[in-house]
Amino acid sequence: MRDIHCHILPGVDDGAADLDESLAMLEAAKRAGVTRIVCTPHCRDPYFDYDKMWDAFELLRDNADGFPLQMGFEVNHRKLVELGIDAAEHLHFDGTNEFLLELSTHADAYAFREYENTIYDLQCRGYQVIIAHP
């Protein structure tokens, strides 16, 4: 079973505070039957620091005793618009075409039209869009 949305990286967002907590989360996931994890830190303010997040991924991977971890991001729509659609190239699940997109829970009809356009644009670029918290 693959967990595709996990805030397990140490010290980068509102998930695990440190490596010890990350490793405890990893052990809990194993006990629950998870066999692979996509690490998906927030790509939104105030958390987003691309290099720090990749460093945290490498730290966790190096301490995970070979457990299959993959890097990705939970990309907030507003942040994607700010960064530009070309940033998707660096934010999808590493090694796949999967893209985890977070939408606002307070969206109006106009926002949904904007979301549809963004999703269409991502799909045209070859991404399989996964909506976080539908």
**Residue-range domain boundaries for the chain:** 2-132
**Mean pLDDT estimate for the chain:** 97
Q: What is the largest CA-CA distance in the chain?
A: 47
Mean predicted confidence (pLDDT) in 37-55: 97
Least confident segment among 27-41, 57-71, 73-87, 98-112: 98-112
Q: Is the pLDDT of residue 33 over 90?
A: yes
Domain 2-132 has CATH 3.20.20.140: yes
* Residue 38 contacts residue 3 (beta carbons within 8 Å): yes
Tell me which residue of 17, 79, 74 sits closest to 45, measured CA to CA. 79
pTM of the model: 0.95
111 or 72, which is more confident: 72
* 3 state SS of 108: coil
* Residue 26 contacts residue 15 (beta carbons within 8 Å): no
Q: Is the pLDDT of residue 134 over 90?
A: no
* Residue 4 contacts residue 36 (beta carbons within 8 Å): no
- Over the stretch 70-87, which tens digit does the pLDDT of each residue have? 999 999 999 999 999 999
Residue whose tokens read 């990286």: 9
